[in-house]
Amino acid sequence: MGLQHVLVMYAGAVAVPLIIGRALRLPPEQVALLVNADLFACGVVTLIQSLGIGPFGIRLPVMMGVTFAAVGPMLAMAGNPELGLLGIFGACIGAGIFTMLVAPFVSRLLPLFPPIVTGSVILMIGISLMRVGVNWAAGAPVATIPGYGDPLHLGVALAVLVLILLITKYAAGFFANIAVLIGIVAGCGLAYALGKMGFAKVASAPWVGLIMPFQFGMPKFDLVAIVTMSVVMIVVMIESAGMFLALGEMTGKEVSQADMTRGLRTDGLGTLIGGIFNTFPYTSFSQNVGLVGVTGVRSRWVTVCGGVIMLAMGLVPKLGALMESVPVFVLGGAGIVMFGMVAATGIRILAGVDYQVNRNNLFIVAISVGFGMIPLVAPQFFKQLPHALAPILESGILLTAISAVVLNLFFNGMVSAAQARANALAAATKAEH
């Protein structure tokens, strides 16, 4: 049962270190290290969240993984030579501490994030990530690299995409849940048959390797980067709160204020651990919450076992080398599905918003998404503004979040805490399915 949870989340768990590592053009062995560090931290934070240690852990069947919400800001930081990977780690450490401090007060923030806001933000996360998936399908992170758009790359990406769709339509249960992973494995087999994938790096990688703190060097602490990541973590906490409420409903356990605080505090602790152990911000994975509903297995000891498996996988460098060896065009077919599903989740949440009685909600979505599109369609739009603001202004996700919160307050004001809690539960219920 624990392995099933691991397989469901594996493709999503390793996607973020691959995105960041390749955006920074790190050597293959360093990208592999990022993957292993991610798996190791996934296991550690999952154990803390499910098992519970003192004031940390909601003690529900939760699997923790790197959040896609932070990818946009991290890519902006990666593009800043003054920050780079060490700046990302510093921002994670600062944001992790911030999250642990504000976790007890997050219920007061819920009224700022009704479905109109969370739906807009999640939609923009998917749209922003889709650019990565499309470039992967073309065979390279940017169009200037030779081989970009090679018909062979496009064909393999399309084959992976079609296989995922076929499995999703005709398979059931467990196999339907790991359709993306099966698609990636099949795509690797095809790429190997075409001579586009080799395993020399996997063969040379050791079987066992420890993940040590600060293996890339001491983090850089930049105030604007930390504030940016902290804003992301507020959005992550709101999403996590909904997931915890949904899990409480599934397992028959009432999630008290103390439970919620322990769970959200662990989001912060996980992000702090991520910055220390060479990886990124953590949150509960919605697909695993959905798996609890599908299987009906509500024991937290299942996800404790899953955490042990993830931790062990992180100590096997050959696995990191294997994931780094996967051609980007194979990941492209799967990335279009994964990132598109993020956007579709945002659309589903927005579908529950009232637009007929309250036409102002149309303006909130339109303008918020419009603001979020600025860095995607006009990268030089803010070039005359102070460079220190780049991590904020170059993130469509943060621009959408800020504008959606402000516009919602302007048009609709604050909702009650009880209504905010109900909204979070409804949004999470949509997301998990």
Mean pLDDT, range 94-101, rounded to an integer: 94
Of 158-162, 191-195, 425-429, where does mean pLDDT reach its minimum?
425-429
**Cβ atoms within 10 Å, residue 203:** 9
Q: Is the pLDDT of residue 217 over 80?
A: yes
Write down the domain spans for the chain. 2-432
Q: Write the pLDDT tens digit of every residue in 350-401.
A: 888 888 888 889 999 999 999 989 888 888 888 888 876 776 777 787 788 8
Position 9 pLDDT exceeds 70: yes
- Taking the C-alpha atoms of residue 253 and residue 292, their distance in angstroms, rounded to an integer, is 14
Whether 44 shows a pLDDT value over 90: the answer reads yes
Residue 236 is predicted with a pLDDT of 82
**Mean pLDDT, rounded, of the chain:** 82
Give this prediction's pTM: 0.73
Mean pLDDT of 177-187: 81
**CA gap 327, 349 in Å, rounded:** 34
Query: Cα 142 to the chain's mean position, in Å?
Result: 21
Query: 431 falls in which pLDDT band (50, 70, 90)?
Result: low
Q: What are phi and psi of 222, to 5 degrees?
A: -115, 130
- What pLDDT shows up at residue 168? 82
Percent of the chain with pLDDT over 90: 15
Each residue's pLDDT tens digit, 23-37:
888 888 888 888 889
Q: Are 154 and 138 in contact (CB under 8 A)?
A: yes
Q: What is the pLDDT of residue 366?
A: 93
Q: What is the mean pLDDT of residues 416-425?
A: 64
What is residue 423's three-state secondary structure? helix
Query: Taking Cα atoms as reference points, which of 63, 46, 53 lies closest to residue 292?
Result: 63
**Closest C-alpha to 57, from 345, 379, 304:** 304
